[in-house]
Amino acid sequence: MTDSSPAARPRFAFQHRSVLAYAVLGVALLGTILPLTYLFSVSLMGRDETVSGILWTTDPQWSNWGDVLGSGIPASIANSLIAAFGGALLTLIIALPGAWAIARFRAGGRALGATLMSPWLLPPIVAVVPLLTLLRIVGLNNTVLGLALVYALANAPVAVWLLEGFVRRLPIEIEEAATLDGAGTFRTLIWVIAPLLLPSMIAVGIIVAILNYNEFLLATFLTQSADAQTFPVALSLFYGDRTPHFGKIAAASFVGVIPVFAAAVFFQRWLVGGLTGGAVR
């Protein structure tokens, strides 16, 4: 380390560091992929094979996947998708005007900025009983619509917080020009701001939709009837059997993960942009 030959050292150090970096990435990739591959492998195992200490079955049981597709899982995935996208769309409708008014006009003042993320600090279990009571009163408990509404409100603060960062990056001159041309506040929001923010809104929408799709705690109490269950709830019920069939549980897990993984592959750039856009200002 105390070696000093300033001319030669940096070049060597660069290469040395790259090797280390690639090694770290290799280990990280392996650590990410190995458990997922194992899940896939188990999804093709018969009931006996899951407890026999093998890593890969020689006799793939595609019937596990067939059984899962014939069970309530596809319907629960459909419920999850409806709640996820319905909730995300409503969240965006709530968050866009809020984010714009807060970022540009300091609407709500410091108090709103300070309280915006405070519900997020507490465990969501806090909200289960009060929300269950509320949904019962309005008659929306055990419905996908009720769940979508809860998701829409639950993620609105996060969406406002993320979108605010994007609003601040828009050049204010465009809005000023619109005002000079006589556009009112509403017209500026709908015809100037919304189109400019569309890419950011899609990014934030995808993040919120994934959060909704994956949510378990609220869903398990707000959608107890079989026809309103979301995917995480339906999957958790597989453990209710006296002797759970790990092969089928793994197959169900994999089927349910496909929509989010597909979204990640298609919207990789948007996803990363949305997650980092609000945080790095």
Partner 1 sequence: MASATSVRPRLTSGFVPRRQVWAHRLFISPTILSILVLGLYPLLFILAAAFSDSTLGKPFREWVGTENFEVVLADGDIVASFLRTVLYALAISVASVGLGVVIAVSLDRATRSGSVVRTVLLLPLITPPVVVGTLWKLVFNPGGGLLDTLLRGVGVDGASVAPLSSTFWALPAIGLADVWQWTPLVTLLVYAALLTQDGAVREAAALDGAHGFGLFRHITWPAIAGTVAAVFFVRLVIALKVFDLVFIMTSGGPGQASTTTSYVIYQVALKEFDVGRASAITLLFAVVVTLVTLPVAALARRLSHD
Residue 142 C-beta: closest distance to partner 1, Å? 15
Q: Which is nearer to partner 1, 19 or 226 (CB)?
A: 19
Q: Are 87 and 208 in contact (CB under 8 A)?
A: yes
Q: Which is nearer to partner 1, 110 or 265 (CB)?
A: 265
Alpha-carbon span 126 to 132, nearest angstrom: 11
Q: Are 39 and 250 in contact (CB under 8 A)?
A: yes
Q: Which is nearer to partner 1, 225 or 280 (CB)?
A: 280
Residue 94 C-beta: closest distance to partner 1, Å? 4
Tokens standing for 172? 């204010």
Q: Which is nearer to partner 1, 75 or 153 (CB)?
A: 153
Q: Which is nearer to partner 1, 26 or 66 (CB)?
A: 26
Residue 20 C-beta: closest distance to partner 1, Å? 7
Alpha-carbon span 183 to 213, nearest angstrom: 38
Residue 227 C-beta: closest distance to partner 1, Å? 19
The per-residue DSSP string of 100-168 comes to: HHHHHH-TTHHHHHHHTTHHHHS-THHHHHHHHHHHHHHT-TTSHHHHHHHHHHHHHHHHHHHHHHHHH
Q: Which is nearer to partner 1, 62 or 261 (CB)?
A: 261
Tokens standing for 125? 């279990």
Residue 97 C-beta: closest distance to partner 1, Å? 4
Q: Which of 118, 136, 116 is nearest to 126 (CA)?
A: 118
Alpha-carbon span 197 to 273, nearest angstrom: 13
Residue 85 C-beta: closest distance to partner 1, Å? 15
